[in-house]
Amino acid sequence: MFCNTSKEIGGMGHGLKRKEDARFLQGKGHYVDDVKLPGMLYMDIVRSPYAYAKILNIDATKALEIPGVLAVITGRDLEKYNLHWMPTLMSDTQMVLPTDTVMYYAQEVCAVIATERYIAADGVAAVEVEYEPMKPIMDPHKALDPGMPILRPDKGKTDNHIWHWEAGDREATDKLFANADVVVKEQVYIPRIHVASIETCGCVADFDPVEAHLTMYMTTQAPHAIRTVIALVAGHVGLSEEKVRVIASDIGGGFGGKVPVYPGYVIAIAASVLIGKPVKWIEDRMENLQADSFARDYDMTCELAATKDGKIQGLRIKTLADHGYTDAAANPSKYPAGMFSICTGSYDYGVAFTEMDAVYTNKPPGGVAYRCSFRVTEAVHAIERMVDRLALEIGKDSAQLRMENFIKKEQFPYHSPLGWEYDSGDYGPALQMAMDIVGYDELRKEQAEKRKRGELMGIGICSFTEVVGAGPSKDFDILGIKMFDSAEIRVHPTGKAIARFGTKSQGQGHETTYAQIIAQELGIPAEHIHIEEGDTDTAPYGLGTYASRSTPTAGAAAAVAARKLRDKARKIAAYLLEVSEEDLEWEVGKFYVKGAPEKSKTIQELVFAAYTNHPQGMEAGFEATHYYDPPNLTFPFGSYICVVDIDPETGSIKIRRFVAIDDCGNIINPMIVQGQIHGGLTQGLAPAMFEELIYDEDGNMLNGSFMDYLVPTAVESPSWETGHTITPCPHHPIGAKGVGESPTVGAPPAIANAIIDALSHLGVTHIDIPITPQKVWNILVEKGVIEAV
């Protein structure tokens, strides 16, 4: 229905050059860092060299003596205006600037405002801060031990426990496990990683003291939510919401890391308000890695129960989550653990229980949904590792075990044992397609032959079910704001349109996708539809782009808004053609009279009539707005197969083939989907084999730059092979489900399963990601395959 040919796709374009030219003519560049405003000042931030320390004194005398340094702002300065603390998205609080204690390495301590960026950096170097270091809590397992420092006494805490969450039937699950034929158990750790976007975070805060109006140019995925948070934080000093405008222009990647409100934003606002001039803050790469919101950091005790022949019967998972010094996770309010309860996966069984405890430590705050729908990556990794573990335990092929346990097509909508209602699915064909493409049976024969020769080859599978499209207002909100989304369509008299959305693209191609949806619904050519996002003064209120929610929510809003306009066009057509509405047929782009197709009116003619010759009593114009509140989430799925070869002398790992079959419901634009999948697979490769934030026992980050934090490049990325099945979502207006995060969710366990499969005959049952050559080499030495040098 929505698939276009390559020629048609290529002909639409994004209009980026036109928008870029316009911005530069106005003195506002393509990205936030390009924004230049008259009299603009620059901000840099002094950051803590300690993970946990008392601040004894901040001496800014030398900094203020530098020509061009105008001010140094401390937590004590902000405290005078009650701006030194702010709310997090999970209803916790975090420091904007500390008044007495720093809580993690690279935390903001104070800010320097200067006339030039490099002068501000010189000012930062000249600020002298005296600390009294304390012993930090870096191990979440020790955070609750007696005698440990209480990190958040401001919360009335007597320990470092944040919350306990659970889902499922504990009693029934425990009983099942006590009587199961087979129980497999593994400790699965997913380490802390970082989104590492091309563009770091930044903003320009421009406060107009005459109008008492703030304009924020910033790298945010959720402009309206940020505006509301600014009003909540600073409303008491006059920045009420109608006086705040947030503009997010083009963004170089977000992946969840640009959803939160960072202290740098608030400090820049405070500086602009206090000084009365625009203030720019752009963090550098090391600041971005060391202090911004992290992802993952889940330690999971996973158990799977089954019969002797491999019928899965139950799942039990207990998780410890390290949230750093404050719970700033980007999750819906009612879901402190996000969508982790999707951990039952793609399999049909009736009993499950999962519980989680979150603790404070002296690490940066956060818990962003790094290109996944609120902790789905961790959930999928847990179940897909355990299914492979069960296959190894009972000696059954891992593909066969999955096929035998999949939820069947006729069982949908399917109610999972942890409370989700899966909308639709057909899992077997997706896995079979991946097996056929990769030549699965022949690969297994090749593997057996290679093992006889001492060669190491592995085949890994991940058959995942995702949950995206947050979310239905009955369950989903952030800071109390329901997670609907919006679209406003205005069609001008000549039949050209502008459509505005509450989402914000960071490279997903919204300009193309949204235009195609409206074009399909109304018949206006996509190249005649201008798409606009990211400006709170013009766009309808929305909750932004993350968790693969753009097409499931805003795309649906566009379709419904377009159908409202089509209904109006039908009334106008009936008036102009002098027939009843029931006598009209719709063909994309026009209405015609049943049985007399020569009597018709195009959408362009009908739009013009809406301004010039509409029925008496009808409201003029051709505009519609819709706020879409989905009845349920959407559940895209897929099956990935990875084939690896391991050098038994060095432990180096080569991904020979990787086949990814995705099902995201109806596909709007194949090229956009392919781009999302290829990028997502590379981001899934990253945590599987490369990325991990490492701290020592004193809280120092040991790999806080790209010299040490490994991000895969085109050199390390294999040639991804992709395909798809189509299982439409039954409740979505156009049957779409969303795909942006599926590959990041599915790739890590597929790669991990392949590497572990290559070593399984040596007695290896699990390796925590990232699985590096060093880890593999150590295992080969331990197993006696090679001798240590």
Query: pLDDT for 53-107, tens place per residue?
Result: 999 999 999 999 999 999 999 999 999 999 999 999 888 999 999 999 999 999 9
Q: Looking at this protein, which amino acid is placed at residue 285?
A: R
Q: Is the pLDDT of residue 12 over 80?
A: no
For 352-383, how does the pLDDT look when each residue is reduced to its tens digit (9 = 90+)?
999 999 999 999 998 888 999 999 999 999 99
Q: What is the token pair recorded at 489?
A: 């369509």
Q: Give me the pLDDT at residue 3, please.
A: 40
> H or E element: which one contains 707?
none
Q: What is the DSSP letter of 166?
A: E
Residue pair 131/53 in contact by the 8 Å Cβ criterion: yes
Average pLDDT over residues 592-601: 97
Q: What is the token pair recorded at 538?
A: 């013009």
> Among 179-188, 353-362, 756-765, 780-789, where is mean pLDDT lowest?
780-789
For 621-677, how does the pLDDT look when each residue is reduced to its tens digit (9 = 90+)?
999 999 999 999 999 999 999 999 999 999 999 999 999 999 999 999 999 999 999
Catalytic residue among 221, 447, 520, 604: 221
Q: What is the DSSP letter of 604?
A: H
Regarding predicted confidence, which is higher, 167 or 16?
Answer: 167
Distance between CA 528 and CA 495 in Å, rounded?
A: 8
Q: Give me the pLDDT at residue 788, please.
A: 82
Q: Give me the pLDDT at residue 29, please.
A: 57
Catalytic residue among 47, 192, 371, 549: 371
For 563-586, how does the pLDDT look when each residue is reduced to its tens digit (9 = 90+)?
999 999 999 999 999 999 999 999
Q: Is the pLDDT of residue 8 over 80?
A: no
List CB contacts of 334: < 8 A, sequence separation 6 or more. Answer: 475, 476, 477
Catalytic residue among 302, 372, 462, 642: 372
Neighbours of 788 (CB within 10 A): 8
For 297-331, how does the pLDDT look when each residue is reduced to its tens digit (9 = 90+)?
999 999 999 999 999 999 999 999 999 999 999 89
Name the nearest CA neighbour of 603 among 725, 518, 534, 683: 518
For 137-171, how does the pLDDT look when each residue is reduced to its tens digit (9 = 90+)?
999 999 999 999 999 999 998 999 999 999 999 99
- What percent of the chain has a predicted confidence (pLDDT) above 90? 93
Q: Looking at this protein, which amino acid is placed at residue 200?
A: T
For 413-449, how does the pLDDT look when each residue is reduced to its tens digit (9 = 90+)?
999 999 999 999 999 999 999 999 999 999 999 999 9
- Report CA-CA distances (Å) from 395 to 399, 637, 705, 760: 12, 26, 44, 11
Name the nearest CA neighbour of 32 among 198, 200, 194: 200
Tell how strand 477-478 and strand 481-482 pair up.
Answer: antiparallel
Mean pLDDT rounded to a whole number for the chain: 94
Q: What is the DSSP letter of 242?
A: G
> H or E element: which one contains 421?
strand 421-422
For 253-269, how does the pLDDT look when each residue is reduced to its tens digit (9 = 90+)?
999 999 999 999 999 99
For 445-462, how does the pLDDT look when each residue is reduced to its tens digit (9 = 90+)?
999 999 999 999 999 999
Roughly what angle, to the nearest 10 degrees, separates helices 427-438 and 398-405?
160
Q: What is the token pair recorded at 563?
A: 């159908």
Q: Is the pLDDT of residue 13 over 70?
A: no
Does 221 participate in catalysis according to the annotation? yes
Q: Give me the pLDDT at residue 237, please.
A: 87
- The pTM score is 0.95
Name the nearest CA neighbour of 781 among 759, 751, 765: 759
Q: Where are the alpha helices (DSSP H) in 578-602?
A: none
Residue pair 632/421 in contact by the 8 Å Cβ criterion: yes
Q: Give me the pLDDT at residue 18, please.
A: 34
First to last CA, the chain: 61
Q: What is the DSSP letter of 541?
A: P
Catalytic residue among 199, 283, 692, 741: 741
List CB contacts of 243: < 8 A, sequence separation 6 or more. Answer: 211, 212, 213, 214
Q: Is the pLDDT of residue 7 over 80?
A: no
For 468-523, how does the pLDDT look when each residue is reduced to its tens digit (9 = 90+)?
999 899 999 988 999 999 999 999 999 999 999 999 999 999 999 999 999 999 99
Which residues make beta-bridge pairs with 414? 422
> Among 23-27, 662-666, 743-747, where is mean pLDDT lowest?
23-27
Does 741 participate in catalysis according to the annotation? yes
Neighbours of 305 (CB within 10 A): 25
Which band of pLDDT confidence, cut at 50, 70 and 90, is reported for residue 23?
very low
Average pLDDT over residues 104-111: 98
Average pLDDT over residues 177-187: 98
